[in-house]
């Protein structure tokens, strides 16, 4: 490999590292604007809902654990409440419900009623 080719590989690698670092910053580290509901706050709001509390308790009574996935959807957080079901050595997710948490107002809306 020539010195020119090595330089291209090194520059490409550095560019890829910089791109990943930038994505991590914007996705995980960039502070939200003042007053916006943060990811953890959105999760806590959903977990505090009575029906979600019942879902968590029902699973716990059966020695299972509720799982949650929180995704940034611009003006709101999308929160999935689900369990992982294992049958015959295979697993899949069983969604209890999806919730939208408005970032400005903090209002929680159920996707399925």
pLDDT band for position 84 (cuts 50, 70, 90): very high
Of residues 19 and 59, more confidently modeled: 59
Residues 22, 97: Cα–Cα separation, whole Å: 32
Q: What mean pLDDT do residues 22-31 have? A: 50
Residue of 13, 72, 18, 79 whose CA lies nearest to 51: 79
Handedness of CA 26, 28, 31, 33 (dihedral sign): positive
The pTM (predicted TM-score) of the whole model is: 0.67
């Amino acid at each position: 490999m020539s010195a020119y080719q090595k330089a291209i590989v090194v520059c490409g690698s550095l560019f890829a590292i910089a791109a990943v670092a930038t994505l991590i910053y914007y996705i995980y580290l960039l502070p939200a604007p003042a007053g916006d509901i943060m990811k953890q706050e959105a999760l806590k709001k959903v977990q505090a809902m009575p029906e979600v509390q019942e879902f968590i308790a029902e699973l716990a009574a059966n020695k299972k654990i509720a799982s949650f996935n929180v995704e940034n959807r611009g003006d709101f957080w999308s929160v999935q409440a689900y369990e992982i079901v294992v049958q015959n050595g295979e697993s899949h997710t069983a969604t209890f419900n999806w919730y939208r948490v408005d970032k400005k107002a903090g209002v929680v809306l159920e996707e399925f009623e």
